[in-house]
Amino acid sequence: MTKHTKENDRLRKIVESFPKVTVTVLADLVADEYVFGEISRVSREAPVLILRHRDRKIVPGGGANAIYNLADLGVTVLPVGIVGDDEPGRLLLRAFRHKRIPVSGVLKDKSYPTVTKTRILAGFAHTAGQQVVRVDREPGECPNSHLRRELVLAAREYGRASDAVLVSDYGYGAATPALLNLIREKRGIDKVPIMLDSRHRMLEFIGITAATPNESEVETALGIRIGDDWERLLAAGEQVAGEMNLESLLITRGKDGMVVFPRRHKPVDIPIYGTDEVADVTGAGDTVVATFTAALASGATAEEAAHLANYAGGIVVMKRRTATVSQQELLDAVEKAPRIAHEL
């Protein structure tokens, strides 16, 4: 048996073990709304297109997309978050129930509107449509003290029954560093690995096991510009991993693939899986962190988890709009794809 065959067998066994894994997700839940219209003509009122409404669809986005990805990978996922008492919130809950995802940890509150990102897509009949504008509806304030307390209690309860906790922080107040500190105050999840995907404040989190920022988020966190400078990228990764005391760090780099920094091992450069002629990158980071989390919770090494996350990311960017990767799709990728990586 060749080394490549052994490695693929190992990756396949990891993916096949996903249904044995339970992950709690503390998340900012987002509704991704898509409004499709056929181009009718140019308006007389302003130099803009008039679209004839064709369709409308709301799917899980943000942290809700990470939850959806975990479910499609076969993982038992326990979401903790907030939605509003509104149509987007109800549709998110309906989507979770459709996937048989428990919703008892998802709070529903009239004072907290569901975060909704509306993308208007214009096109002609039988075309996919091109995004022309996005409108974001966000809460004016952070969750109140009652909601924060309920989030902490739910996350503690679920976390004790989980193999890992994923924190998906989009900056809307349901997955903050302060909340995570409160969740970890009482014993119960102190030995549970905690994975992090944070848009704006990665370095503020304490007690994190692994994180999956993209390159621009690392640049913002450290106040630097990496560009094509490999030495600067490696130094930045080592700095983030050291400051956060991480077991592993995965930096995603778009068309340039990923670099994983395992503790006590050299960084590994992983080229992009598939083609760089992508269809849509929306939500790809959620797919990556979901797969990385599922793999680590299944006993994978950081490098093995990174390879699987790379496969999943390569698959999902070939799908239009916010999407997921199934366990079978990931297994197919493991079987077909050559495993290429370089120690740095």
Residues designated as active site: 286
Which one, of 79, 36, 32, 27, lies nearest residue 59 by Cα?
Answer: 32
Q: Can you say whether residue 254 is alpha, beta or left, with left for phi > 0 and alpha for psi between -120 and 50 degrees?
A: left
Phi, psi dihedrals of residue 259, rounded to the nearest 5°: -130, 130
Tokens 């975060």, located at residue: 115
Residue 193 contacts by C-beta under 8 Å, 6 or more apart in sequence? Answer: 163, 164, 165, 209, 210, 247, 296, 297
Extract the tokens encoding 88: 């987007």
What's the rounded Cα separation, in Å, for the pair 192 and 67?
A: 18
Q: What are phi and psi of 250, to 5 degrees?
A: -120, 115
What is d(CA 239, CA 241) in angstroms, rounded to the nearest whole number?
6
CA 119/CA 34 separation, integer angstroms:
5
Q: In which residue are the tokens 């760090």 written?
A: 249
CA distance 105 to 130: 36
Q: How far apart are CA 91 and CA 310, in angstroms?
A: 30
3-state secondary structure of 211: strand
The two tokens of residue 113 are: 């509107």
